[in-house]
Structure 1
Amino acid sequence: MTSQHITLNALDGSGSFAAYLALPPSGHGPGIVLAQEIFGVNATMRQVADLYAEEGYVVLVPDLFWRQQPGIELGYTEADFQRAFGLYQGFDEAKGVADIQACLDALRQRPECSGQAGVLGFCLGGKLAYLAACRTNADVAVGYYGVGIEKALDEAAQAKGRLVLHIAENDAFCPPEARAAIVSTLAGRAHTEVYVYPGVDHAFARVGGDHFHKPSALMAHERSIAAFKTVMGPHPDFSALWEKHCEHEFATRDVAATMATMVAQPYVNHIPTMTGGVGHTMLSRFYQHHFVNSNPPDTTLVPISRTIGATQIVDELLFCFTHTCEIDWMLPGIAPTGKRVEIPLVAIVKFRGDKLYHEHIYWDQASVLVQIGKLDPAGLPVAGIETARKLLDEHQPSNTLMANWANSAP
């Protein structure tokens, strides 16, 4: 990714303002205007811009406080909060929305932008994203915990394009009555989605913040990217990307080629054994010494089903091998047994743009241990190769581990 600061002219001719521009690795893509929190275009906003650029977007972050004081970059100390609230109270929303329109116009004219452009906003920017949906020609608008949206619900009928709002249940800046008004007013509107995240507070998606809640942030990001992609793209071929990655892992066994299919800082987590790596250096080491060259020669992957979402693939498959070598990532420290193993396996593969970002891999470790003779299944609710056979043939016996199954017969 590359980034730079550019200067734009206000639509009313009153002056010019700076904006941070982040470009995707490909150098081109749909556009997003990122509307700031009340803390200015600070490191947090630039990091969000870089993230969305990695997702494949041309991202422009305007300095919306330029009429009050250009170049504001605040942190999150108590003094910064007081300064930020002062700027917020003096902010002219109408002029801010006009600046967003100027940014949309500028993005669409840039050679890097594919033509369509949307708005993404947080806090103050969350409301501006809603207003942009109502007042500008944004193709899609996504707002996180916008403050004061309930005061502008009379504009909802003018909303154009797709609108997605993320609301924190415990947000004191959007109390229950305000939240209820937003939800009820926007419920059932075409191309409009409102999500309430239970038990979280304002700024739940700000990484490193006091209220950061990773599960909610991940869900919200998934929904945001889905909205942008549905309306504007891009649409990488996740299946082809994933299959090329697997080819390098299991067929050519080429670590460098495997890593080349991934983002700069990827991670892999094999959930049952907690093996893998976070970041390029650790993951390269893991692939080189503990995975790519540590799988038995007869290892095969048998696809069962594939679900493709906005940001990820979920693969259901059979993982089959003969335990002829030590398999560090699955059976670390266990000498080869020569046993045949067939297990259902689920891979959840997340992408950023046209690169793999992370893999969460799940399987039944108890079944593996039963099949290699390291776990006696007698008296335990576990099964061996039968789990794989039943995946392929649903008519295989069910409920064989339930001793009281016979008692429920009619």
Structure 2
Amino acid sequence: MPFSEMKIKTADGEADAWLFTPDSRPEPVEAGVIVYMDAFGLRPAMSEIGEILANAGYVTLIPDLFYRNAPYGPFDAKTAFKNKDTAKELRGIMSSTTQAMTISDTAAFLDTLEGEGAKSIGTVGYCMGGPRALNAAARYPDRIAAAASFHGGNLASDAEDSPHKAANKIKGRVYVGSAGVDKSFPPEQSAKLAQALREAEVDHIIENYVGMQHGWAVSDHDIYDAEGAKRAWKRLFTLFEEALH
């Protein structure tokens, strides 16, 4: 499976990114995926996600959303928020990397995938990447055919950039897999997001993974759950197979 490191020119600079290409590309549709990382940056667990998607036939791009703060880290998903110094650094980077920045950068990410031959593109985000994947679908409705979020937080908050407020701009299909109990996406937010998507007539599924904790789908988290991740992959492939082909 071909893999390459690249730099993507954005309006604010150059973002490091990883590109994963299938060994054999499916015909007639070339499908691509943008992966919006969680808070711990590019690392082996993100590479694993890229490899799985590429092995399933998707040209996959994983950009460094924190490139404006580079160099930073590295961060260990199991310990970063438990250590006072790394937690402070990480929270600072997260707060300074706004949704607006990522959505602006997404134009360049889409151009990159389209330059690789992708004619149909989906997005998927984990944790902080979840709302960005949905907001990208709202900002580029004619270029993103499907968007997925796994244990994404604040999908229907009071913030101006909350994804539910842009639901009426989404044209693609949406899948949201939420942790069973997650203070960053409580039941009231789930209900609010569902209402917004339904009123906007967006084809969507919001699914509650009972017993799973925030971060369960990424392999280097201390609460990673292999069975939950297997289920998440099954749902994601169903979404992409139906929406991108």
CA distance in 2, matches of 1:145, 1:81: 20
- Matching residue of 1:53: 54
Which amino acid is 1:86 matched to?
Answer: G
**Cα offsets for 1:279-323 (capped at 9, x unmatched):** xxxxxxxxxxxxxxxxxxxxxxxxxxxxxxxxxxxxxxxxxxxxx
Where does 1:265-304 land on structure 2 (aligned, <5 Å)?
none
Please state how far the C-alpha of 1:86 moved relative to its aligned partner: 2.3
In structure 2, relative to structure 1, the CA distance for the partners of 1:82 and 1:27 (3 Å cut) is farther
1:35-74 CA deviation, whole Å, 9 max, x = no partner? 1101111211111111111111111111111112246542
Determine helix, strand or coil for the equivalent of 2:176: strand
User: Helix, strand or coil: the match of 2:235?
Assistant: helix
Residues 229-276 of structure 1, C-alpha deviations (whole Å, 9 max, x = no match)? 11223xxxxxxxxxxxxxxxxxxxxxxxxxxxxxxxxxxxxxxxxxxx
Q: CA deviation at 1:96?
A: 0.6
Query: 1:100 maps to what in 2?
Result: 106
Match of 1:185 in 2: 196
Question: 1:30, 1:100 → 2: CA distance?
Answer: 17
Moved runs in structure 1, 4+ residues, more than 4 A? none
Q: 16, 19, 32: which one pairs with 2:17?
A: 19
- Residue of structure 2 in register with 1:38 after alignment: 39
Q: CA deviation at 1:17?
A: 1.4
- How far did residue 97 of structure 1 move? 1.1
Evaluate the alpha carbon distance shift between residue 95 and residue 208 of structure 1 in structure 2; reply closer, same or farther with a 3 A threshold.
closer
Alpha-carbon separation, structure 2, partners of 1:81 and 1:25: 39
In the alignment, the residues of structure 2 paired with residue 95 and residue 219 of structure 1 have an alpha-carbon distance, to the nearest angstrom, of: 31
Map residues 231-242 of structure 1 onto 2, 5 A cutoff: 231-233=243-245
Counterpart contact for 1:41–1:71, Cα < 8 Å: no
TM-score by length of 1: 0.53
TM-score (norm 2): 0.86
The alpha-carbon distance between structure 1 residues 170 and 82, as it changes in their structure 2 partners (threshold 3 A), is farther
Query: Counterpart in 1 of 2:209?
Result: 197
| Residues 65, 72 of structure 1: 8 Å contact kept | no
Q: Which amino acid aligns with 2:181?
A: N
Q: Is 2:170–2:202's contact at 8 Å kept on the other side of the alignment?
A: no
Q: What is the one-letter code of the residue matched to 2:127?
A: C
Q: CA RMSD in A?
A: 1.9
* SS of aligned partner of 2:67: coil
Aligned partners of 1:161 and 1:191 also within 8 Å: yes
Aligned length: 229
Please name the residue that 2:170 is paired with.
Answer: 159
Aligned equivalent of 1:253: none
Q: Which range moved further: 80-89 or 157-166?
A: 80-89
Q: State which structure, 1 or 2, has the greater radius of gyration over its C-alpha atoms.
A: 1
Identity %: 26
- Residue matched to 1:4: 4
Aligned to 2:139: 135
Q: Is the 8 A contact 1:133 1:159 kept in 2?
A: yes
Secondary structure of 1:64's counterpart equals coil
- Higher percent of residues as strand: 1
CA contact (8 A) 2:31 2:119 kept: yes
Q: In the alignment, is the contact (CA less than 8 A) between 1:42 and 1:72 conserved in 2?
A: no
Distance in 1, matches of 2:154 and 2:96, equals: 15
What is the letter of the counterpart of residue 98 of structure 2? D
Q: How does 1:2-401 map to 2 (within 5 A)?
A: 2-10=2-10, 12=11, 14-26=12-24, 29-70=30-71, 72-76=73-77, 77=79, 78-79=82-83, 80-110=86-116, 113-136=117-140, 137-151=143-157, 152=162, 153-187=164-198, 189-233=201-245
SS at 1:200 equivalent: coil
For structure 1, which runs of at least 5 residues remain unmatched after alignment? 234-410
1:208 CA drift (Å): 4.3
Q: Within 2, Cα distance between the matches of 1:71 and 1:23?
A: 27
Equivalent-residue separation in structure 1 for 2:205 and 2:71 (angstroms)? 34
